[in-house]
Amino acid sequence: MAGVNSNTCCIYIDTAAGSVSNDPAETSGASPALVPIAYSTSAGVSINNATFEVNYKKATGATVSDAPSLAPTRAFNVGTQTASMSFEGVVDWTVIADTIALNEIFNSFLAKSQITACWASTDTNANAYHAKGYITSFDLSSSVDDFATFSGSIELIGDITELA
Protein backbone atom coordinates (compact mmCIF):
# COMPACT_ATOMS: atom_id res chain seq x y z
CA MET A 1 0.00 0.00 0.00
CA ALA A 2 1.39 3.38 -1.00
CA GLY A 3 0.26 6.01 1.47
CA VAL A 4 0.72 9.73 1.07
CA ASN A 5 3.42 11.24 3.26
CA SER A 6 1.85 14.13 5.16
CA ASN A 7 5.13 16.07 4.98
CA THR A 8 4.39 16.58 1.27
CA CYS A 9 0.94 18.17 1.78
CA CYS A 10 0.31 21.91 1.81
CA ILE A 11 -2.33 24.55 1.16
CA TYR A 12 -1.53 26.61 -1.93
CA ILE A 13 -3.04 30.09 -2.23
CA ASP A 14 -3.52 32.68 -4.96
CA THR A 15 -4.61 35.99 -3.42
CA ALA A 16 -5.67 37.26 -6.86
CA ALA A 17 -8.34 34.48 -7.01
CA GLY A 18 -7.13 33.24 -10.40
CA SER A 19 -8.23 30.05 -12.10
CA VAL A 20 -6.42 26.74 -11.68
CA SER A 21 -6.03 24.01 -14.27
CA ASN A 22 -3.27 21.71 -12.99
CA ASP A 23 -2.00 20.38 -9.67
CA PRO A 24 0.40 23.11 -8.49
CA ALA A 25 2.51 20.69 -6.45
CA GLU A 26 3.24 18.34 -9.35
CA THR A 27 3.20 20.62 -12.41
CA SER A 28 6.00 23.12 -12.64
CA GLY A 29 4.82 26.51 -13.88
CA ALA A 30 1.22 25.42 -14.48
CA SER A 31 -0.22 27.72 -11.84
CA PRO A 32 2.44 30.37 -11.20
CA ALA A 33 0.21 32.46 -8.92
CA LEU A 34 -0.77 29.46 -6.76
CA VAL A 35 2.03 29.04 -4.20
CA PRO A 36 2.39 27.14 -0.91
CA ILE A 37 2.03 28.82 2.48
CA ALA A 38 5.49 29.55 3.89
CA TYR A 39 6.51 27.72 7.10
CA SER A 40 3.39 25.55 7.02
CA THR A 41 3.20 22.59 9.40
CA SER A 42 -0.26 21.21 8.57
CA ALA A 43 -2.99 21.45 5.96
CA GLY A 44 -6.53 20.12 5.99
CA VAL A 45 -9.64 19.87 3.85
CA SER A 46 -13.14 19.31 5.20
CA ILE A 47 -16.14 18.66 2.94
CA ASN A 48 -19.69 18.19 4.21
CA ASN A 49 -22.93 17.36 2.45
CA ALA A 50 -26.06 18.75 4.08
CA THR A 51 -28.90 16.27 4.15
CA PHE A 52 -32.59 16.89 4.24
CA GLU A 53 -35.39 14.67 5.39
CA VAL A 54 -38.82 14.28 3.86
CA ASN A 55 -41.67 12.67 5.77
CA TYR A 56 -44.72 11.56 3.85
CA LYS A 57 -47.44 8.95 3.83
CA LYS A 58 -47.36 6.20 1.28
CA ALA A 59 -50.56 4.48 0.28
CA THR A 60 -50.57 0.70 0.47
CA GLY A 61 -52.60 -1.22 -2.06
CA ALA A 62 -55.85 -2.93 -1.26
CA THR A 63 -55.89 -6.67 -0.91
CA VAL A 64 -58.78 -9.15 -0.79
CA SER A 65 -58.85 -9.01 3.01
CA ASP A 66 -57.47 -5.48 3.74
CA ALA A 67 -58.49 -2.00 2.71
CA PRO A 68 -55.83 0.45 1.45
CA SER A 69 -53.99 2.36 4.21
CA LEU A 70 -51.46 5.13 4.62
CA ALA A 71 -48.04 4.14 5.96
CA PRO A 72 -45.64 6.80 7.30
CA THR A 73 -42.44 6.92 5.27
CA ARG A 74 -39.22 8.84 5.68
CA ALA A 75 -36.61 9.66 3.00
CA PHE A 76 -33.25 11.43 2.98
CA ASN A 77 -31.34 13.18 0.24
CA VAL A 78 -28.18 15.26 -0.12
CA GLY A 79 -28.47 19.03 -0.48
CA THR A 80 -25.87 21.76 -0.34
CA GLN A 81 -22.18 20.94 -0.06
CA THR A 82 -19.89 23.02 2.14
CA ALA A 83 -16.11 22.85 2.23
CA SER A 84 -13.29 24.49 4.12
CA MET A 85 -9.52 24.28 4.31
CA SER A 86 -7.36 24.82 7.36
CA PHE A 87 -3.68 25.57 7.77
CA GLU A 88 -1.13 25.92 10.57
CA GLY A 89 2.51 26.86 10.72
CA VAL A 90 5.40 28.50 12.52
CA VAL A 91 5.45 32.32 12.53
CA ASP A 92 8.34 33.75 10.53
CA TRP A 93 7.95 37.05 8.70
CA THR A 94 10.89 36.32 6.37
CA VAL A 95 9.79 36.11 2.73
CA ILE A 96 10.78 32.93 0.88
CA ALA A 97 10.75 32.83 -2.94
CA ASP A 98 7.87 30.90 -4.54
CA THR A 99 5.74 30.85 -1.36
CA ILE A 100 3.00 33.06 0.01
CA ALA A 101 4.30 35.01 3.00
CA LEU A 102 2.42 35.24 6.26
CA ASN A 103 1.84 38.98 5.93
CA GLU A 104 0.23 38.44 2.50
CA ILE A 105 -2.25 35.95 4.00
CA PHE A 106 -2.94 38.36 6.87
CA ASN A 107 -3.51 41.27 4.45
CA SER A 108 -5.95 39.15 2.37
CA PHE A 109 -7.80 38.30 5.57
CA LEU A 110 -8.05 41.99 6.57
CA ALA A 111 -9.13 43.03 3.06
CA LYS A 112 -11.86 40.33 3.01
CA SER A 113 -10.82 39.51 -0.55
CA GLN A 114 -11.61 36.32 -2.41
CA ILE A 115 -8.75 33.88 -2.93
CA THR A 116 -8.15 30.58 -4.70
CA ALA A 117 -7.03 27.79 -2.39
CA CYS A 118 -5.76 24.29 -3.19
CA TRP A 119 -4.87 21.32 -1.00
CA ALA A 120 -2.11 19.46 -2.83
CA SER A 121 0.84 17.14 -2.31
CA THR A 122 4.09 16.64 -4.16
CA ASP A 123 3.43 12.91 -3.70
CA THR A 124 2.18 11.51 -7.03
CA ASN A 125 -0.21 9.17 -5.13
CA ALA A 126 -2.26 12.14 -3.85
CA ASN A 127 -5.08 14.08 -5.46
CA ALA A 128 -5.30 17.87 -5.39
CA TYR A 129 -8.50 19.77 -4.57
CA HIS A 130 -9.26 23.45 -5.08
CA ALA A 131 -11.95 26.14 -4.95
CA LYS A 132 -12.35 29.86 -4.48
CA GLY A 133 -13.13 31.16 -1.02
CA TYR A 134 -12.44 33.58 1.78
CA ILE A 135 -10.07 33.41 4.73
CA THR A 136 -12.56 33.37 7.61
CA SER A 137 -10.18 33.08 10.55
CA PHE A 138 -6.55 33.86 11.20
CA ASP A 139 -4.80 33.31 14.55
CA LEU A 140 -1.35 34.12 15.86
CA SER A 141 -0.40 32.29 19.05
CA SER A 142 2.60 32.10 21.34
CA SER A 143 3.54 30.59 24.67
CA VAL A 144 6.60 30.81 26.91
CA ASP A 145 9.67 28.93 25.65
CA ASP A 146 7.96 27.84 22.43
CA PHE A 147 7.71 28.94 18.80
CA ALA A 148 4.98 31.40 17.84
CA THR A 149 2.48 29.72 15.52
CA PHE A 150 -0.27 30.75 13.13
CA SER A 151 -3.43 29.04 12.01
CA GLY A 152 -6.33 29.90 9.78
CA SER A 153 -9.30 28.61 7.90
CA ILE A 154 -10.71 29.23 4.45
CA GLU A 155 -14.43 28.87 3.76
CA LEU A 156 -14.82 27.69 0.16
CA ILE A 157 -17.64 28.82 -2.09
CA GLY A 158 -19.18 26.51 -4.66
CA ASP A 159 -18.19 22.90 -5.10
CA ILE A 160 -14.61 21.78 -4.54
CA THR A 161 -12.92 20.46 -7.69
CA GLU A 162 -10.29 17.76 -8.14
CA LEU A 163 -7.24 18.71 -10.22
CA ALA A 164 -5.37 16.36 -12.54
User: Tens digits of per-residue pLDDT, 34-77?
Assistant: 888 989 999 999 999 888 887 777 777 778 888 877 777 778 78
pLDDT at 32: 54
Confidence of residue 1 (pLDDT cuts 50, 70, 90): very low
Q: 61: which DSSP letter? A: P
Q: Mean pLDDT over residues 11-29, rounded?
A: 75
> Residue 131: left (phi > 0), alpha (psi -120 to 50), or beta?
beta
Indicate whether 133 belongs to any domain: yes
Confidence of residue 26 (pLDDT cuts 50, 70, 90): low
Indicate whether 31 belongs to any domain: yes
pLDDT at 29: 53
The C-alpha atoms of residue 131 and residue 10 are separated, in whole angstroms, by: 15
Confidence of residue 155 (pLDDT cuts 50, 70, 90): very high
Range of the domain at 24: 9-49+80-163
The C-alpha atoms of residue 164 and residue 151 are separated, in whole angstroms, by: 28
Over the Cα atoms of the chain, what is R_g?
A: 23
Indicate whether 125 belongs to any domain: yes
Q: Do strands 9-14 and 35-36 pair parallel, antiparallel, or not at all (unpaired)?
A: antiparallel
pLDDT at 70: 79
The tally of domains found in the chain comes to 1
Please name which of 73, 62, 76, 153 lies closest in space to residue 109, comparing C-alpha atoms: 153
CATH code, domain carrying 104: 4.10.410
Indicate whether 118 belongs to any domain: yes
Indicate whether 63 belongs to any domain: no
Q: Residue 123 above 90 pLDDT?
A: no
pLDDT at 19: 77
pLDDT at 31: 52
Indicate whether 149 belongs to any domain: yes
- What's the number of CA atoms in the CB half-sphere (13 Å) around residue 4? 13
pLDDT tens readout for residues 69-117: 777 777 878 888 889 999 999 998 888 888 888 889 999 999 999 999 9
Indicate whether 3 belongs to any domain: no
Indicate whether 144 belongs to any domain: yes
Is residue 36 within a helix (H) or strand (E), and if so which, with residue range?
strand 35-36
